[in-house]
């Protein structure tokens, strides 16, 4: 949610220079459509190749995953500090730094006073909305708590009535015999 807000405010000012990753766009669309549990859709987004290639991950040579089989680890993996340092030493020379495109920085010095005022008003509106949602949620939880208390009271009354009825039924049976 924070990324949505920050990216949204940034795009109102610098829409031609901010480009959210395709994976983020796809995930946002999924959650807006309330399909966050759709495994196939999430895997489709995860396998999307439109985002820039990560140059660091494929260069890692620790190979800790080779100790695993489909039924579990062959033996207990060595997670000792010495083994971790050896993995790091083996892979540290092969990694490349991640290059960031020029448009990822938000340069606030280019904004006018009106744009700052507009951004502040948008942020204030968002805060008011969030505060009202928190208040509504609190009131709803208080209402639910009251309903749960009433339900517990009703349940205890029903149990008492059933036990009284069973006791009276036993007395009536005893009198008939």
Query: Does residue 157 lie in a domain region?
Result: yes
Contact between 67 and 74 under an 8 Å Cβ cutoff? The reply is yes
Domain encompassing residue 75: 53-100
Same-domain check for residues 76 and 95 = yes
Q: What is the rounded distance in angstroms from the CA atom of residue 61 to the CA atom of residue 58?
A: 8
> pLDDT value at position 108?
76
pLDDT in tens, 118-154: 989 999 999 999 999 999 999 999 999 989 989 999 9
Q: At what angle do helices 2-14 and 113-176 cross, to 10 degrees?
A: 150
Shared domain check, 86 and 123 = no
What's the whole-model pTM score?
Answer: 0.32
pLDDT digits (tens, 9 = 90+) for 35-76: 878 888 888 887 777 766 555 555 555 555 555 555 555 556
Which pLDDT belongs to residue 70? 58
Backbone angles phi, psi at 73, to 5 degrees: -70, 145
Who contacts 46 (Cβ-Cβ below 8 Å, separation ≥6)? 23
Of all helices (H) and strands (E), which one includes residue 41?
A: helix 39-46
> How confident is the model over 7-25, as a mean pLDDT?
71
The answer to whether residue 86 is domain-embedded is yes
Total domains in the chain come to 3
CA distance 57 to 90: 14
Residues 82 and 136 reside in one and the same domain: no
**Pair 82, 127 in one domain:** no
Q: What tokens were used for 159?
A: 């149990």
pLDDT in tens, 115-128: 889 989 999 999 99
Instruction: Please name the residue that has the structure tokens 């959650």.
Output: 31
**Boundary residue ending a domain (39, 68, 100):** 100
Asked, for residue 15, whether it belongs to a domain, the answer is yes
Residues 31 and 4 sit within 8 Å (Cβ to Cβ): no
Query: Do 156 and 171 fall into the same domain?
Result: yes
């Amino acid at each position: 949610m924070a990324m949505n807000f920050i990216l949204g405010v940034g795009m109102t000012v610098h829409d031609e220079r901010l480009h959210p990753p395709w994976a983020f766009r796809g995930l946002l669309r999924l959650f807006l459509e309330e399909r966050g549990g759709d495994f196939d859709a999430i895997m489709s987004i995860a396998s999307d190749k439109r985002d820039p290639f990560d140059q660091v991950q494929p260069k890692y040579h620790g190979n800790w995953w080779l100790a695993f089989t489909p039924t579990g680890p062959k033996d207990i993996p060595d997670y000792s500090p010495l083994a971790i340092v050896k993995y790091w030493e083996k892979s540290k020379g092969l990694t490349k730094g991640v290059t960031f495109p020029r448009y990822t920085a938000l340069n606030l010095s280019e904004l006018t006073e009106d744009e700052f005022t507009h951004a502040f008003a948008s942020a204030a509106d968002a805060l008011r909305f969030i505060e009202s949602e928190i208040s509504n949620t609190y009131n709803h939880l208080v209402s639910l708590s009251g309903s749960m208390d009433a339900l517990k009271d009703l349940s205890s009354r029903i149990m008492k009535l059933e036990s009284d009825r069973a006791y009276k039924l036993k007395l009536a049976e005893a009198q008939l015999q």
